Structure formats: structure tokens, C-alpha cells
Chains A and B, each alone.
Chain A
Amino acid sequence: LAKTTQPISMDSYEGQEVNITCSHNNIATNDYITWYQQFPSQGPRFIIQGYKTKVTNEVASLFIPADRKSSTLSLPRVSLSDTAVYYCLVGDGRGKLIFGQGTELSVKP
């Protein structure tokens, strides 16, 4: 299973765009890239998933370069409620996913 590397923490201010980059150098051909958000005392919540290029939904965008060895989660105009831990995961569709350390995002007023 591919290992992921993310910054441990990031700070931002309300209204800014936040980009969190994840490195996954040994991603396999069949792997998808998935991002989750976790608030304290809650289970992780799915944010977005992609395989290549760009994916956008109502909460975030995911940018994946051609070599797929990294990916960037983009959160537009963050608010205080976006303060959470964000996890990047890769896997081959067999369902088993290994969580890395995650990025603790702190949004300040």
C-alpha cells in the first residue's frame, strides 16, 4: 500500500484559499486518491476523490499532476468551521486504507 506524506499542520485565516499537498511517490496504477476531514470526537468524513487531473465538488477541488506522485486538496475561502484534520489516502480499490499522520488545519479569524 502506498505511503503518504503531508505537512503536520497549517495555519490560515478566514476567507483565504488553503492548499494542502500530499506526496505519494509509490502510488500504483490502480490507486485512487481520497481525502477525508475529521473533527474532534467524530469519525472521518469523505471530502473528495480522484484518479487524475482535476476533480471539483461543492466543498473542494483536487489537483493531481500527470505523474500522480502528489495531489493537492484546495479549500476555497475557508471559514472557522474548516478547522479540522485532513487525511490523504491512496489505495487500489480493495477497500483497505491506511491513514497517515494527517494535516491539522487551523483557521483563525
Chain B
Amino acid sequence: SAVISQKPSRDICQRGTSLTIQCQVDSQVTMMFWYRQQPGQSLTLIATANQGSEATYESGFVIDKFPISRPNLTFSTLTVSNLSPEDSSIYLCSVSTATNEKLFFGSGTQLSVL
């Protein structure tokens, strides 16, 4: 298993600013992902965080809005840029430690944009 620490747990931000979310894992992992969960909805995959290279984004998500870093095998950040109220969601970091797709999730970051 993997223990994931995600910070901050929640934040309230002003329109037009940015928020950077950190994801720290207690062991090296092969795959790291960022998801968004809008109120009352399922999870939507934003991107796969690739170690040492640019993230792979899903349709509808772009690097300028959601820049991602992954400098090593235990850490990643997601920045949500130029915030608008529509960005108010829970953002979740997840990791996979093997190829059998058992995902472990952080507790999420609750973002509210005023």
C-alpha cells in the first residue's frame, strides 16, 4: 500500500489567483494521477504526472490551466491557474504502485473560488 499526504486539505481563493496542491507519497510509485471531483459528481482524470517529463493531459484539460510537476518518484504538484468559480472542486492525487491498477488516493483538496 501507499500513504499519500495531500496539502492543503482545503483553501478559499480569489478569482484570478492560482493554487498549488502538493502530493507526497511515502514510497516510490510508478504512476501518479490528478483527478477532479466536482460537487455531486464522479471523478474526472485531469492528467498523468510523468517523472522527469511533461504531464499527459486528458481531453479538456490543458497545461496552461493545470501545470503539473513531478520531480521524483514520490512527489508531484498540481497548480490550478487563473481561478474562476467554476474551478471550485475537490482535487485528488492518486498513485499506483504496480501494474495491476490498484489505486491509492489522497484525502483531497477542497478548493472554493470566490
A residues whose Cβ falls under 8 Å from a Cβ of B = 32, 34, 36, 41-46, 49, 87, 89, 91, 93-102
Chain B residues with CB under 8 Å of A97's CB are: 45, 101, 103
- Which residues in chain B, 30-67, are within 8 Å of chain A measured between CB atoms? 30-31, 33, 35, 42-45, 48
Kindly report which residue of chain A lies nearest to residue B99, judged by CB atoms.
A93
Interface residues of A: mostly helix, strand, loop or mixed? loop
Q: State the Cβ distance, B8 to closest chain A Cβ, in Å.
A: 14
A46 touches B100 (CB 8 A): no
- Among B42, B101, B108, max chain A CB count under 10 A is at B101
Q: State the Cβ distance, B76 to closest chain A Cβ, in Å.
A: 14
Residue in B33, B103, B110 whose beta carbon sits within 8 Å of that of A46 in the complex: B103
- Which residues in chain B, 99-113, are within 8 Å of chain A measured between CB atoms? 99-108, 110
Task: Tell whether B88 is near chain A: CB-to-CB under 8 Å.
Answer: no
B31 touches A46 (CB 8 A): no
B42 touches A87 (CB 8 A): yes
Number of interface residues of B (CB under 8 A): 24
- Among A43, A96, A99, max chain B CB count under 10 A is at A43
B101 touches A91 (CB 8 A): yes
Chain B residues with CB under 8 Å of A96's CB are: 31, 33, 45, 48
Kindly list the 8 A-B residue pairs having the minimum CB-CB distance in the complex, ordered from nearest: A43-B105, A95-B31, A99-B43, A93-B99, A95-B96, A99-B42, A91-B101, A43-B92
Decide yes or no: A49 and B48 within 8 Å by CB, A43-B92, A43-B94, A99-B42 being known contacts.
no
Question: With the chains together, A36 CA to B103 CA distance in Å?
Answer: 9
A95 touches B30 (CB 8 A): yes
Q: State the Cβ distance, A100 to closest chain B Cβ, in Å.
A: 6
